Structure 1
Amino acid sequence: MLHSNGMEMPHWLAKRAFLTPERIALICEGEKWSFRRLEEEVGRMARRLTGWGLKQGDRVALLMGNGLQMVTLIHAVTRLGGVVVPLNTRLAPEEIAWQVEDAGVRMWVVDTDHEPKAAAARGSCGTTAFTWEELTRLPEEEVELPSRLSLNDLHTIMYTSGTTGRPKGVMLTWGNHWWSATSSALNLGLDPGDRWLAAVPLFHMSGLSILMRSLIYGMTAVIHPAFDPAAANRSIREEGVSIVSVVGTMLTRMLEELGGGSYPEHFRCMLLGGGPAPKSLLERCKDKGVPVFQTYGMTETASQIVTLAPEDSLRKLGSAGKPLFPSELRIVKKGVDLPPGEAGEIAVRGPNVTGGYWKRPDATMETIREGWLYTGDLGYLDEEGFLYVLDRRSDLIISGGENVYPAEVEAVLTAHPAVEEAGVTGAPHEVWGQVPIGFVRLQPGTATGEEELVRHCRERLARYKVPVRIHFVSHLPKNASNKLLRRELLQLVPKEGKGGEDL
């Protein structure tokens, strides 16, 4: 728990409910909640959690899909000074159990759809778990809820896959979320009539940031249980949605569903993350008058930290844009700032950047120095200060907007008794952008098949991390330091028509 010795302000939900009580806060599956209603529902749940014994600083994990239940719990836990640990519902039970234990979670809540997965995860984790229905049966304790918050206090621990080893818990304070929302508003502007569609998961930074902005801006968040292009387009046309957060595959599917139609005049922003957009997609958006803001960001920056404005989307094709106010950006190599045009590591700094990783001082010291977050991503700046991202965290695979780190998949493959060593890289895919491909060298005298290794991975990894193909090879490409050269792995794929064993 971070100390409450920084700037304090009225609690966001209480303040927003006081300022604009009748304004619509949420639209979800046919229901509309005003900010007054949201505060009332959150207050009831907070009093139940208080009666159970939840205290300031306690971590609460949520294994839930998008919906009013998850929104209520996020606000109720943090209303009491608790810390939310959102769990990716696509993770395997083993991955979920590890994150719950690592975060020192005191309780976790699961919705009906994910009870089977939670049951499997709880087998190796003794933390108290509740369903939503069980929580609603807890007695409410009459207690005066905190009226103020400190921007220095911890709000969220959100796990992000690391380039090596286990995922790291990114610690995000109220202040990180505040400055992320403020930076976004200074870039996009504020409109009292804005409605922001959250068809991305609320357990991801892009989804959670929409909830934070809703409170701060007094803006309506339109929550969809899952992404559906027809439903997203319908919300824009019929529910007044003016801003949508998407990754490239989502945008492509929305345009396909839109067909020969167009978006209404009130729609003002398609916030695009998950990597640079292809020229053909940007040109289609321009022809249809779809305003696309390309972005660069990560969990560690509490959403986007660099954004490309629509007027530059074709002129600066492939660029992520310029750093948002009040963030800073450097391109460095061996501690030296590089001039325009030269590629190096992207480093960012600003009040929206995390202060570090949960229980990982080593990773924090390695990644954050003098306030600068060294992202591990490679890029360069042009003469006008626009950022071009060359490689997302070196070997990162981005599949349908989800980050897949090869080292994590390789660790699972090498845990199979027949596998001596493994390498994983991304292969182009017309729908998902990239998909993981595995390469394994077997232990001498052992035998196994692709189907067995895929099943082994499915039992231990989220579905999007499982290799779509596994090739058996006699060697893996390495450099003079015996480090795996993942970029050369695809050269080992047998040519079409080649018979016999893989290389």
Structure 2
Amino acid sequence: MNLVPNFLLKRASLTPNRIAIEMDQQKLTFAQLNQRSLDIASKLYANGVRAGDAISVFMKNSMEMAILLFALKHIGAITVLHNLRLTPNELAFQLKNSRSKLLVTDAEKVNPLLKVLVEEEGGIISMDALSQWEAGPFPLVEEFQLDLVDTIMYTSGTTGHPKGVKQTYGNHFWSASGSALNLGLYEKDAWLATVPLFHISGLSILMRGVIYGMRVVLHEKFDAEKVNEDIMSKGVTIVSVVSTMLQQLLDELGEKTYPGTFRCMLAGGGPIPLPVLKECEKKGIPVFQTYGMTETCSQIVTLSPEAALLKIGSAGKALFSCQVKIVDENKEVPAGQAGEIVVKGPNVTPGYFHNEEATTRAIKDGWLHTGDIGYLDEDGFLYVLDRRNDLIISGGENVYPAEIEAVLLEHPSIGDAGVAPMEDDRWGQVPVAFVVLKNLDVSEDEIVDFASQRLARYKVPKKILKVTELPRNAANKLVRRRLMEYMPKPGSTRSHDHED
């Protein structure tokens, strides 16, 4: 049994007076963060929360959310993190699937969410109300078992229903270690978290802060002006972004440049366009491009700034403790040949929560089969050609066509549906739906309204195109890559007739 000291307990004993989290005008030292999380843990335990219980968190970025996350670790409960953009139906599925005992949310969300839990056994409470609960003694988890599940995050599955990705204490520890071995670690480092804590990109920053003893500057949401202001005035040295965020930061920055103390723009969510990379080079902004996913507990492959313009489009090389290879039919292929990206390392998930079938499909002989297509060049640099086969990345959010198609097919007038990405200046990509109607006609607005009630806003198709047939292969599988051929030419109002 591999054990390590409770992350926050250890950090609070090592550097109690260092600032742990800073948000607006609030600051908490590691000692204060630990004490406040202990207080919340005592209230949770006194009201029935036990080690191994799944507790759902549906909150915006805040000091209170950070305190709650560490309080749950003090008890040994499993934290289930939910995307704030989920619809009630989507949230209800995740609550039921995770068997959550309690949902903790922001005060203003309690009443709108009550109907989600009508048929669930679990309760719902705001963080404000939770803080008023009676406290009591509890058995503090002083050591973490590295292979125990710490957090669960849901990722949309290619067959429709989302899957709960298990992240162990060991996954988080090794993710932090691999990042530090790659980026280095300096005494005055401060990592700005403007990405949501319910995403692995945000949560990993919080975990690294405690493991490293590093200050985290927390924002409720992304605001380019505020991010640039804090880089200039608060000694921020590292920021995690996606491509669209980086472009907005550059636009807002104008002719100004960042201080010399800023050392890393960690960019995920797809390759950075060449013009943006050149602008960053001109301004002396070091961009580290990455490839990672919820299943790898954040980054697993990273491209350093010195290689950024030499290896355009590459995600880089596997981190120190990690491995990556390309396979076709489960056989490794030579450099330059495309195939499925498979990864291995101590930061890789052990599987999916309450879903052994999905776990068995994804993990074979210790290697995680990502479903992404790519290749390694002769120097060992990874190039991602197709994110999880049909994945659409819209504003840094993962959007799976199959999930949208499943919702559209619930509509009584839709007989068949296919979803593909369309390039978008603001979001990078947006989903477009192609539908085959049954006998009854239905308007585009009606279909959009139907989807909006069942899907998070970023998943709702931005266009609905009516066609007579969808492209399918001999096995009757939808060939999504051909869907965009069905887009009407400018000025055309006819639906595309498939003749194959």
TM-score, length of structure 1 as denominator length: 0.97
**What is the aligned partner in structure 1 of residue 169 from structure 2?**
174
Provide the C-alpha distance between the structure 1 equivalents of 2:106 and 2:263, rounded to a whole number of angstroms.
34
1:442-475 Cα offsets, whole Å, 9 max, x none, are 11x2111100000000000000000001001101
Residue type matched to 2:344 in 1? R
Provide the C-alpha distance between the structure 2 equivalents of 1:284 and 1:113, rounded to a whole number of angstroms.
41
**What is the aligned partner in structure 1 of residue 441 from structure 2?**
447
Provide the C-alpha distance between the structure 1 equivalents of 2:255 and 2:269, rounded to a whole number of angstroms.
26
**What is the aligned partner in structure 2 of residue 424 from structure 1?**
419
Provide the C-alpha distance between the structure 2 equivalents of 1:442 and 1:64, rounded to a whole number of angstroms.
39
Residue type matched to 2:481 in 1? R
Residue type matched to 1:482 in 2? N
Residue pair 1:244, 1:270 contacting (<8 A) in 2 also: yes
Out of 465, 471, 484, the residue aligned to residue 471 of structure 1 is: 465
Out of 258, 267, 278, the residue aligned to residue 273 of structure 2 is: 278
Residue pair 1:295, 1:305 contacting (<8 A) in 2 also: yes
Residue type matched to 1:373 in 2? L
> 48-57 or 491-500: which moved more?
491-500
C-alpha spacing 1:144/1:266, structure 2 compared with 1 (3 Å)? same
Residue type matched to 2:490 in 1? E
- Asked if 1:216 corresponds to 2:211, the answer is yes
**What is the aligned partner in structure 2 of residue 489 from structure 1?**
483
Provide the C-alpha distance between the structure 2 equivalents of 1:138 and 1:467, rounded to a whole number of angstroms.
43
1:114 deviation in Å? 2.7
Residue type matched to 1:246 in 2? V
Provide the C-alpha distance between the structure 1 equivalents of 2:228 and 2:486, rounded to a whole number of angstroms.
42
**3-state SS of 2:37 partner:** helix
1:358-405 Cα offsets, whole Å, 9 max, x none, are 111111111101110010000001110000000001110000000000
C-alpha spacing 1:274/1:194, structure 2 compared with 1 (3 Å)? same
**What is the aligned partner in structure 1 of residue 344 from structure 2?**
349
C-alpha spacing 1:499/1:327, structure 2 compared with 1 (3 Å)? closer
Identity of aligned residues (%): 50
- Asked if 1:9 corresponds to 2:4, the answer is yes
Equivalences for 1:312-461 in 2 at 5 Å? 312-443=307-438, 445-461=439-455
Provide the C-alpha distance between the structure 2 equivalents of 1:39 and 1:499, rounded to a whole number of angstroms.
62
**3-state SS of 2:154 partner:** strand
Provide the C-alpha distance between the structure 2 equivalents of 1:146 and 1:435, rounded to a whole number of angstroms.
44
1:139-198 Cα offsets, whole Å, 9 max, x none, are 110235222211111101111111112000001100000000000000000111111011
Residue type matched to 2:57 in 1? L
C-alpha spacing 1:316/1:176, structure 2 compared with 1 (3 Å)? same
Residue pair 1:110, 1:118 contacting (<8 A) in 2 also: no
Residue type matched to 1:10 in 2? P
Provide the C-alpha distance between the structure 2 equivalents of 1:221 and 1:497, rounded to a whole number of angstroms.
52
**What is the aligned partner in structure 2 of residue 54 from structure 1?**
49
Q: How big is the alpha-carbon RMSD for the aligned residues of Structure 1 and Structure 2?
A: 1.0
Residue type matched to 2:289 in 1? Q
Residue type matched to 2:142 in 1? S
1:481 deviation in Å? 1.2
Aligned residues: 497
Provide the C-alpha distance between the structure 1 equivalents of 2:8 and 2:267, rounded to a whole number of angstroms.
28
**3-state SS of 2:470 partner:** coil
Provide the C-alpha distance between the structure 2 equivalents of 1:366 and 1:65, rounded to a whole number of angstroms.
33
- Asked if 1:106 corresponds to 2:129, the answer is no
**3-state SS of 1:18 partner:** helix
**What is the aligned partner in structure 2 of residue 159 from structure 1?**
154
> 281-290 or 493-502: which moved more?
493-502
Provide the C-alpha distance between the structure 1 equivalents of 2:68 and 2:387, rounded to a whole number of angstroms.
33
Provide the C-alpha distance between the structure 2 equivalents of 1:183 and 1:428, rounded to a whole number of angstroms.
33
Residue pair 2:272, 2:313 contacting (<8 A) in 1 also: yes
**What is the aligned partner in structure 2 of residue 3 from structure 1?**
none
Residue type matched to 1:172 in 2? Q
1:275 deviation in Å? 0.6
Residue type matched to 1:43 in 2? L
Moved over 3 A (4+): 499-503
**3-state SS of 1:356 partner:** coil
C-alpha spacing 1:124/1:438, structure 2 compared with 1 (3 Å)? farther
**3-state SS of 2:440 partner:** coil
Provide the C-alpha distance between the structure 1 equivalents of 2:481 and 2:112, rounded to a whole number of angstroms.
35
1:73-109 Cα offsets, whole Å, 9 max, x none, are 1110111100100110001100001101100101110
Equivalences for 1:279-298 in 2 at 5 Å? 279-298=274-293
1:117 deviation in Å? 4.1
Residue pair 2:73, 2:141 contacting (<8 A) in 1 also: no
Residue pair 1:89, 1:114 contacting (<8 A) in 2 also: no
Unaligned runs of 5+ in 2: none
TM-score, length of structure 2 as denominator length: 0.98
**What is the aligned partner in structure 2 of residue 81 from structure 1?**
76
Residue type matched to 1:11 in 2? N
